[in-house]
């Protein structure tokens, strides 16, 4: 081994070797943690709150078809621990008024299609959960056969109680035939049995009956009464074109009495639908429960509808809600099909938080180890630029003062390297850096023609001896 020439400098190893650099780990994971916090915050802001356990529905007069239907809804929703408060009302117009009033605390109601102004749904934030039934309009009258509604002009007509859907529909159809309130035609607020009795007693000339007023029993009673006729909407197709919310239906031959074949032939009528209307703030989970309850209550067959025909995604005055449309298309989600309602609701909301985190974590966990390694190695690599600059200077002609200045710069680098905190996994690169510092020092102290340690066996031995000494010194500290 060649003896070393030039000034030698005792070194003291104060580097700290640790299992892991927590600082580098924190800096590497920091952006990921921050991104995760932002994702959770955004998810929490967007997540639906837990569904309320109480709803209020505005139905109809006590004992009416829709009031009874609401009572069935109440029983069905109670299976999932949802309390449904049922409010009686005067009918569709009354229900719509409550839904439009934020102070009424009504969440859902039955509303006959065709009675809502075009701006109500947009301005009041209402949406449809679909149609649940037809509301057939039956017109009975005295006297000779009548072909057109305009022929009732100047007569006494019962068109339903104030606030009822029957009245709104009758007024719309009569107005299309030139019959308006305040004219020679008397428009009386009679409905149901009251209107039927008045017609039988001759107190009125015609009665417009819809919904509960047009039950098969009432129609059969009037049809059997002498001199009372069932109006045949021969222009039914034209009415459905003029009023898109109407559907042309047929009262089948024998529908009122099979034994006596009443009516003796099919009679054309028109019918709007009754929609289940809710505020647009209705929780999606409760929307599913309501449509599911409607399917159980209204899905059976009647004289005017086939089994399974309702509820249906048919909406006229109000936009069909996205949640209802999704339910009609694909039914309940997997969670709600397989888990109890409240557990499914909790799991559904948790997924909103968990899924974004998984999407972020999976790619990030692949990137973070590389970022951590780069940060640790960068503390070593950044000294190589300074070493190269000193070595290049050592190869050129320089005075003793200039060489002394380069050695001082090298001493500063060595002191900084020896004071680094380094994970044990990167100790080999740490010692390679020290060997390179020693190589540059020998160039400065022996001259620019000193051979490389890779080409000179003795120099390589010196490097190995230095490494062994450093390892021994490391163990000592």
Would you kindly state where each structural domain of the chain is located, as residue ranges?
Answer: 16-36+353-476, 51-131+275-332, 136-271
Query: Could you give the CA distance from residue 158 to residue 174 in angstroms, rounded to a whole number?
Result: 12
Rg, the chain, Cα only: 44
Domains 51-131+275-332 and 136-271 share a fold: yes
Q: Measuring CA to CA, which residue among 294, 271, 272 is closest to residue 70?
A: 294
Query: Could you give the CA distance from residue 6 to residue 404 in angstroms, rounded to a whole number?
Result: 11
Give SS3 for 260. Answer: coil
User: Residue 3: which residues within 8 A CB-CB, separation 6 or more?
Assistant: none
Looking up tokens 């007509």 gives 157
- Residue 381 has what pLDDT? 77
Query: Could you give the CA distance from residue 206 to residue 158 in angstroms, rounded to a whole number?
Result: 6
pLDDT tens digits for the chain (477 residues)?
A: 444 444 455 555 555 565 556 666 666 666 667 766 776 666 656 666 667 889 999 998 898 899 999 999 999 999 988 999 999 998 888 999 999 998 999 999 999 999 887 656 566 789 999 999 999 999 999 989 999 999 999 999 999 988 788 999 999 999 999 999 988 999 999 988 899 999 999 999 999 999 888 888 888 889 999 999 999 999 999 999 999 999 999 999 998 889 989 899 999 999 999 999 999 989 888 888 999 999 999 999 888 888 999 999 999 889 999 889 988 987 776 666 777 766 666 566 566 667 766 776 677 667 777 777 777 777 777 778 788 888 777 777 667 787 788 888 888 888 887 777 777 777 777 788 888 888 888 877 775 544 544 344 444 454 455 445 445 444 444
- Residue 473 has what pLDDT? 45
- Residue 233 has what pLDDT? 96
What is the per-residue pLDDT across 332-388, written as a single tens digit (0 to 9) for each? 766 667 777 666 665 665 666 677 667 766 776 677 777 777 777 777 777 787 888
- The token duo for 411 is 């001493």
Q: Measuring CA to CA, which residue among 412, 361, 356, 410 is closest to residue 387?
A: 410
Exposed (0-12), middle (13-18) or buried (19+): which is 73, by Cβ within 10 Å? Answer: buried
- Residue 112 has what pLDDT? 93
| End-to-end Cα, the chain, rounded Å | 29
Give SS3 for 417. Answer: helix
Q: E strands of 401-463, at which residues?
A: 421-423
Please give the distance of CA 141 from its chain centroid, rounded to a whole number. Answer: 52
Give SS3 for 143. Answer: coil
CA atoms within 13 A on the CB side of 349: 16
Q: Measuring CA to CA, which residue among 433, 449, 343, 432 is closest to residue 394?
A: 449
Query: Could you give the CA distance from residue 341 to residue 180 in angstroms, rounded to a whole number?
Result: 51
Exposed (0-12), middle (13-18) or buried (19+): which is 392, by Cβ within 10 Å? Answer: exposed
- Residue 466 has what pLDDT? 47
User: Quick one: the chain helix, strand, coil %, rounded to 5?
Assistant: 50, 15, 35
- The token duo for 190 is 């009679």
Q: Residue 350's CB: how many other CB atoms inside 10 A?
A: 12
Q: Does domain 136-271 have CATH number 3.40.50.970?
A: no
Q: Measuring CA to CA, which residue among 273, 324, 312 is closest to residue 127?
A: 324
Q: E strands of 90-125, at which residues?
A: 108-112
Under 8 Å between Cβ of 404 and 358: no
Q: Write the CA distances from 31 to 27, 38, 283, 358, 438, integer angstroms.
A: 7, 10, 35, 16, 38
Could you tell me where the DSSP H helices lie in 186-265?
192-200, 216-224, 236-242
Degrees (nearest 5) of the Cα angle 375, 418, 20?
Answer: 40
Report DSSP letters for 252-296, one per residue. Answer: -TTSSBTTTTBSSS-EEEEE-EEEEEEETT--HHHHHHHHHHHHH
Looking up tokens 């009504």 gives 106
* Bridge partner list, 27: none
Instruction: Give the global pTM.
Output: 0.64
Which CATH code is given to the segment(s) 51-131+275-332?
A: 3.40.190.10
Phi-psi region of 261 (alpha: psi -120 to 50; beta: other; left: phi over 0): left
Give SS3 for 9. Answer: coil
Under 8 Å between Cβ of 434 and 442: no
């Amino acid at each position: 081994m060649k003896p070393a020439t030039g000034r030698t400098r005792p070194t003291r190893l104060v580097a700290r070797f640790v299992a892991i650099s927590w600082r580098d780990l924190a800096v590497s994971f920091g952006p990921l943690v921050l991104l995760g916090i932002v994702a959770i915050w955004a998810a929490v802001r967007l997540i639906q709150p837990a569904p309320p356990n109480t709803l209020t529905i505005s139905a109809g007069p006590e004992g009416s078809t829709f009031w009874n239907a609401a009572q069935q809804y109440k029983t069905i929703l109670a299976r999932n621990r949802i309390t449904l408060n049922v409010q009686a009302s005067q009918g569709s117009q009354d229900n719509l008024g409550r839904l439009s009033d934020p102070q009424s605390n009504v969440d859902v109601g039955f509303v006959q299609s065709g009675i809502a102004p075009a701006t109500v749904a947009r301005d009041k934030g209402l949406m449809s959960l679909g149609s649940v039934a037809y509301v057939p309009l039956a017109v009975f009258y005295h006297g000779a056969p009548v072909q057109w509604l305009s022929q009732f002009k100047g007569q006494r007509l019962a068109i339903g109680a104030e606030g009822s859907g029957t009245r709104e529909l009758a007024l719309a159809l009569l107005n299309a035939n030139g019959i308006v309130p305040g004219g020679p035609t008397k428009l009386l607020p009679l409905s149901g049995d009251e209107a039927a009795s008045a017609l039988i007693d001759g107190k009125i000339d015609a009665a417009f009956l819809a919904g509960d007023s047009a039950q098969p029993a009432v129609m059969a009673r009037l049809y059997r009464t002498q001199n009372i006729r069932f109006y045949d909407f021969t222009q039914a197709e034209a009415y459905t074109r003029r009023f898109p919310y109407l559907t042309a239906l047929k009262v089948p031959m024998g529908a009122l009495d099979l034994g006596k074949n009443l009516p003796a032939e099919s009679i054309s009528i028109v019918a709007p639908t009754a929609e289940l209307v809710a505020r647009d703030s209705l929780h999606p989970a409760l929307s599913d429960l309501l449509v599911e309850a409607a399917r159980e209550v209204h899905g059976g067959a009647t004289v005017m509808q086939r089994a399974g025909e309702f509820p249906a995604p048919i909406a006229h005055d109000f936009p069909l809600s996205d949640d209802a449309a999704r339910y009609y298309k694909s039914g309940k989600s997997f969670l709600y099909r397989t888990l109890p309602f409240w557990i499914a609701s909790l799991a559904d909301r948790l997924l909103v938080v968990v899924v974004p985190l998984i999407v972020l974590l999976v790619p990030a966990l692949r990137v973070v180890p590389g970022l951590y390694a780069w940060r640790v190695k960068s503390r070593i690599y950044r000294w190589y630029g300074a070493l190269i600059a000193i070595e290049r200077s050592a190869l050129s002609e320089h005075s003793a003062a200039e060489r002394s200045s380069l050695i001082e710069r090298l001493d500063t680098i060595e002191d900084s390297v020896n004071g680094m905190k380094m994970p044990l996994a990167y100790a080999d690169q740490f010692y390679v850096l020290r060997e390179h510092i020693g190589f540059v020092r020998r160039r400065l102290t022996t001259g620019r023609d000193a051979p490389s340690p890779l080409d000179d066996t003795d120099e390589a031995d010196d490097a190995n001896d230095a490494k062994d000494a450093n390892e021994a010194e490391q163990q000592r500290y």
